[in-house]
C-alpha cells in the first residue's frame, strides 16, 4: 500500500511509499484502460495521465449521471469508437463509489485501486491511499496451477471478474473486459479484493460482498499471533452514513473481529471481539479545527460529508478520534483515504509523538472506497439470511499471509512497464526472504506455526524497506520479517480533547480558514484545474475572482 503524493508538505513525507503519483502508474503504451470513479474531471485526468488518451480502448465507469462535463474532452475518442461511458444503475441512496484503473499492456495487466476521486484536489492536496500490482499473462505453468486448483483460478481473479459482471456494462464491453482480465495470472496477488455491489444478496452471495465478505476472508486466514486476540480495531473514513448503534457494535464489529490466532502450545483459537465500547473500536474522524487549518481550508470539508444528524448522534461521541496525520507528515492534508485495521501496541501502551511511540503491529489493513455506512458495507436482514447493499465499492485487504506468499512467488517483482525480469526464485536470497518463504509455506500447509512475516506501522526515522529483525525462532526458524505500512494516523488514535467538535459539513463554523476564506464565502476548487498548476496559483486566482487580497 502507498500514500499518494501530496503537494505542500515536507519532502520527506513524499519519499518512497509515502508519495506515489498517479501519472507514474497510468502511463506507457496502454492497450485497454478501464477507469472507475465516482467523480471524474476528464480535462484534469488527461492532463495528469496523458497516455490514457492514446489507449486503443478506454472505458469510463462513473457515478455522475450523463457525465456531460467529460464529453468535450473525450469527443474525439467516442467518435472514433475508442471510448465508452457507462453509469451503472444503483438503488436509492446508493452511489457508484469505486475508484480504480485496470490497464492492459503488451506484457501484462496493471490494477490500481485507490481512495481518490479523479479530480485535482483529491490527487494533489489530500491524504489518499493507493494499492497497485502488475500481473503477467498466463503461461503453461499458470494453466497447470489453475487446473490443479479445485476452486479454479485465484480468488483475486474470481472476485475481480465477478465485480466486473455486476457493473452491467453493455454486453460487448463486459465480454471485452472479461477477456482482458482472464488472460492474466493473478496467483501472486498481494491482496484480497473487498467489494460491494447493489442488491439483496442471499445464500453463498452473502460472503461475496460488503462487510460479510471481509468477515469471510478474515475467517479463512491461517492465523495471527496471540497478541491480536481481543486487540482493538480502528476505522478511519471520510463520510458517515446514518448508522445505528446495533449495526456498528454488533454486526460491523463482528466482521472486523473475525479471524484466528495461535494460542498456547500452538492451539488455534478465535481472535474474538475487542473490548466493548470505544476501548475496542476507535473511529478516526477529523475535527472541525483540522478542516479549518488544512491546506484546503473550509472548502476541503466538502469532501468529508458528515451531516450533523449523523455525526452528532450521542452514542458516537466517545468513539471519535482526531485525524492527526503527523505520522506521515500530513497534519495539514485532509484525509480522503478510507481504512480499517486491527492493531497491537508493543507493551500494551501507546500515545506520545509518532517517533517516540512503541512499535505498533498491524494484523491486517483494508484500504479502499468504503466509508462508514450501511449503504457501502451492507446491512444484514431477516435474521442474517440476506445482506442489503446500496452502493458500488472497491477496496483491498492486505494480510501477512498473502504478502509472504507473494514474496516467495515466481512472479515477485513483475512489471508491465519494465523489461527487468521478476525476482522469481530469489526470495530466499534477499533480506528476510527466508522468513517470507517459511511464512508462505506454513500458510499453504495450514501448519499451526507462528507467522514469520508481520506488518508494522511505519514511523519516521525507520526504513521503508522490509527487514528481518529479532533472533531465530525455535528449531532455527528464520527471524520475523517486518513489513512497514504507511498508516497516516496515530495508533492508538488520539481521542478528542475537551471542547473539540467533530466536523459536520452542514454545521456552523466561524472564522477564517488557513486560506483566508470564511465558511460561507469560500470557493469550490474541485473542477476546472489542470495538473501542472500549483495549488498556490489556484488559491490566488480564487482570491482575485472573489475580490479578496
Active-site annotation holds for 532:
no
**Are the C-beta atoms of residues 523 and 517 closer than 8 Å to each other?**
yes
Tell me how far apart the alpha carbons of residues 267 and 421 are, in angstroms, rounded to a whole number: 41
Q: Kindly tell me the number of DSSP H helices and DSSP E strands found in the chain.
A: 15, 23
Q: Would you call the peptide bond into 492 cis, given omega within 30 degrees of 0 as the criterion?
A: yes
Tell me how far apart the alpha carbons of residues 520 and 511 are, in angstroms, rounded to a whole number: 10
43, 61, 104, 317 from 197: Cα distances, Å: 28, 14, 24, 30
Tell me how far apart the alpha carbons of residues 30 and 106 are, in angstroms, rounded to a whole number: 8
Q: Which residues pair with 32 in a beta bridge?
A: 57, 104
372, 391, 548 from 423: Cα distances, Å: 39, 39, 56
Helices (H), 366-509: 374-377, 400-407, 433-445
Q: Of how many residues is the chain composed? A: 549
> Among 62, 184, 336, 409, which one carries the catalytic annotation?
336
Edge-to-edge strands of the sheet including 83-86?
2-3, 129-136, 108-114, 100-104, 32-37, 57-62, 83-86
**Are the C-beta atoms of residues 103 and 32 closer than 8 Å to each other?**
yes
**Are the C-beta atoms of residues 397 and 194 closer than 8 Å to each other?**
yes
Burial class (CB in 10 A: 0-12, 13-18, 19+), 226: middle
**Are the C-beta atoms of residues 182 and 142 closer than 8 Å to each other?**
no
134, 191, 440, 535 from 188: Cα distances, Å: 10, 9, 12, 39
Tell me how far apart the alpha carbons of residues 392 and 57 are, in angstroms, rounded to a whole number: 23
- Here the cell at position 533 is 498548476
Q: Count of CB atoms within 10 A of residue 176's CB?
A: 17
Nearest to 101 by CA among 62, 156, 54: 62
- Here the cell at position 182 is 482472464
**Are the C-beta atoms of residues 103 and 75 closer than 8 Å to each other?**
no
> Among 97, 192, 211, 409, which one carries the catalytic annotation?
97
Sequence-separated (6 or more) residues with CB below 8 Å from residue 115: 99, 128, 129, 130, 336, 337, 338, 367, 368, 369
Sequence-separated (6 or more) residues with CB below 8 Å from residue 33: 26, 52, 55, 57, 58, 59, 101, 102, 103, 104
Residue 338, marked binder: yes
Tell me how far apart the alpha carbons of residues 340 and 235 are, in angstroms, rounded to a whole number: 5
Active-site annotation holds for 97:
yes
Residue 99, marked binder: yes
Residue numbers in the known binding site are: 99, 338
Catalytic residues: 97, 336
| Annotated binding-site members for substrate | 99, 338
Amino acid at each position: 500500500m502507498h500514500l499518494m503524493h501530496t503537494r505542500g508538505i515536507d519532502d520527506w513525507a513524499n519519499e518512497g511509499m509515502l508519495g506515489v503519483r498517479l501519472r507514474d502508474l497510468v502511463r506507457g503504451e496502454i492497450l485497454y484502460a478501464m477507469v472507475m470513479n465516482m467523480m471524474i474531471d476528464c480535462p484534469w485526468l488527461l492532463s495528469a495521465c496523458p497516455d490514457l488518451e492514446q489507449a486503443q480502448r478506454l472505458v469510463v465507469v462513473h457515478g455522475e449521471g450523463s457525465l456531460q462535463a467529460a464529453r468535450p474532452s473525450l469527443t474525439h475518442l467516442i467518435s472514433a469508437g475508442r471510448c465508452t461511458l457507462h453509469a451503472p444503475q444503483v438503488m436509492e441512496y446508493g452511489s457508484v463509489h469505486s475508484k480504480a484503473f485496470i490497464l492492459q499492456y503488451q506484457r501484462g495487466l496493471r490494477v490500481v485501486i485507490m481512495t481518490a476521486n479523479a479530480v485535482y484536489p483529491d490527487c494533489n492536496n489530500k491524504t489518499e491511499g493507493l494499492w497497485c500490482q502488475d500481473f503477467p499473462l498466463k503461461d503453461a505453468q499458470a494453466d497447470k496451477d489453475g487446473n490443479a486448483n479445485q476452486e479454479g483460478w485465484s480468488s483475486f481473479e474470481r472476485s475481480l471478474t465477478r465485480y466486473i459482471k455486476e457493473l452491467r456494462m453493455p454486453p460487448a464491453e463486459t465480454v471485452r473486459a472479461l477477456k482482458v482480465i482472464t488472460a492474466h495470472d493473478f496467483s501472486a496477488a498481494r491482496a484480497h479484493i473487498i467489494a460491494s455491489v447493489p442488491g439483496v444478496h442471499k445464500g453463498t452471495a452473502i460472503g461475496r460482498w460488503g462487510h460479510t465478505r471481509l468477515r469471510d476472508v478474515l475467517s479463512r486466514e491461517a492465523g495471527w499471533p496471540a497478541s491480536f486476540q481481543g486487540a482493538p480495531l480502528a476505522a478511519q473514513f471520510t463520510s458517515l452514513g446514518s448508522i445505528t448503534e446495533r449495526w456498528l457494535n454488533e454486526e460491523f464489529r463482528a466482521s472486523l473481529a473475525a479471524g484466528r490466532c495461535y494460542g498456547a502450545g500452538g492451539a488455534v483459537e478465535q481472535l474474538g471481539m475487542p473490548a466493548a465500547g470505544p476501548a475496542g473500536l476507535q473511529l478516526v474522524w477529523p475535527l472541525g479545527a483540522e478542516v479549518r487549518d488544512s491546506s484546503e481550508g473550509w472548502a476541503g470539508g466538502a469532501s468529508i460529508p458528515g451531516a450533523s444528524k449523523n455525526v452528532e448522534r450521542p452514542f458516537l461521541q466517545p468513539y471519535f478520534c482526531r485525524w492527526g496525520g503527523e505520522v506521515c507528515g500530513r497534519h495539514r492534508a485532509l484525509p480522503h483515504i478510507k481504512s480499517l485495521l486491527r492493531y497491537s501496541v508493543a507493551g500494551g501502551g501507546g500515545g506520545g509523538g509518532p517517533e517516540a511511540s512503541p512499535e505498533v503491529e498491524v494484523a491486517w489493513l483494508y484500504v479502499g472506497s468504503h466509508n462508514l455506512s450501511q449503504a457501502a458495507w451492507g446491512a444484514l436482514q431477516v435474521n442474517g439470511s440476506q445482506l442489503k447493499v446500496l452502493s458500488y465499492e472497491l477496496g483491498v485487504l492486505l494480510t501477512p499471509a498473502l504478502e509472504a506468499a507473494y514474496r516467495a512467488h515466481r512472479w515477485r517483482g513483475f512489471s508491465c512497464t519494465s523489461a527487468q525480469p521478476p525476482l522469481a526464485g530469489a526470495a530466499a536470497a534477499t533480506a528476510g526472504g527466508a522468513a517470507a518463504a517459511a511464512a508462505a509455506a506454513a500458510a499453504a500447509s495450514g501448519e499451526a506455526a507462528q507467522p514469520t512475516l508481520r506488518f508494522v506501522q511505519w514511523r519516521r526515522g525507520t526504513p521503508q524497506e522490509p527487514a528481518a529483525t529479532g533472533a531465530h525462532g525455535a528449531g532455527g526458524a528464520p527471524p520475523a520479517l517486518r513489513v512497514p505500512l504507511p498508516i497516516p494516523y496515530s495508533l492508538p488514535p488520539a481521542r478528542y480533547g475537551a471542547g473539540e467538535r467533530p466536523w459536520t459539513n452542514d454545521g456552523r463554523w466561524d472564522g477564517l480558514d488557513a486560506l483566508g476564506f470564511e465558511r460561507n464565502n469560500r470557493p469550490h476548487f474541485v473542477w476546472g484545474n489542470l495538473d501542472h498548476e500549483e495549488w498556490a496559483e489556484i488559491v490566488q486566482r480564487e482570491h482575485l475572482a472573489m475580490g479578496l487580497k
